[in-house]
Structure 1
Amino acid sequence: MAMLERTLTGNFDQVLRTLDQAILNGSMSASYEDGTVYTMGDVRCAVRMYERYSYTGGNRVALCMTLTGQGDQLRLTAITAGGSQAMFFKLNTWGEEAFLDTLTQAIDKL
């Protein structure tokens, strides 16, 4: 498992769209599995689940992304899972880290 947390400033919809496109365009096997967007008062929250095949690990990995925003103040949390072929502990996390790197690069460009 790998995790990324960042505080950002920007337009919630635009940042969400940019990150979504970066993840889906980052790998030809990446897919959007499901998600939701909801509002509570002046706080917005988007939860997204993505999956892709990891060629280096030879397996599928998942990425869950949560973007929360109040005005232009945003908080992003992304967690990857899967990618290991061992039964009791993780032997490799290459696929998870590579999936998260795609998101990290997109954030760094914002």
Structure 2
Amino acid sequence: MAKLERALTGDFDDVLDRLHEGVMGASMSASYEDGSDYAAGGVRCAVRVYERYSWAGGNRVSMSLTLVGHGRELFLSAITSGGSQAVFFKINTWGEEAFLDTLRAVLDSF
């Protein structure tokens, strides 16, 4: 498991769209699995789940992305899972970190 969290400022829909396009555009094997949206009391929350093939690990890796916003104040939490071939413990997280790098690149562009 690898995790990336960041507070940022911006338009919720614009940031969510840019994150989605960044993940989908970074890999031919990336797929959007499902998502959920919720809003209450001026707070918005979007959850997105992606998956892609990891050449480094030789397997598939998933990433759960959660964006929470109140006005222009946003918080992103992205967690990857999978990518290890060991039975009882993880022997590598290369594919997971590489998947998160796609988000880092998008976030660095803000």
Which residue number corresponds to residue 4 of structure 1?
4
User: What are the Cα deviations for residues 34-67 of structure 1, in whole angstroms up to 9, with x where unaligned?
Assistant: 0011101100000000000001110000000000
User: What are the Cα deviations for residues 73-103 of structure 1, in whole angstroms up to 9, with x where unaligned?
Assistant: 0000000000000000011111000000010
Which residue number corresponds to residue 107 of structure 1?
107
> Within 2, Cα distance between the matches of 1:4 and 1:56?
20
Q: Once superposed, which parts of structure 1, at least 4 consecutive aligned residues long, lie more than 2 Å away?
A: none
Q: Give RMSD over aligned pairs.
A: 0.5
Which residue number corresponds to residue 19 of structure 1?
19
Which residue type is aligned with residue 26 of structure 1? A
Which residue number corresponds to residue 36 of structure 1?
36
- TM-score with structure 2 setting the length: 0.99
> Within 2, Cα distance between the matches of 1:77 and 1:50?
14
Which residue type is aligned with residue 108 of structure 1? D
> Within 1, Cα distance between the matches of 2:52 and 2:98?
11
Query: Structure 1: any 5+ residue segments left out of the alignment?
Result: none
> Within 2, Cα distance between the matches of 1:56 and 1:80?
15
Which residue number corresponds to residue 73 of structure 2?
73
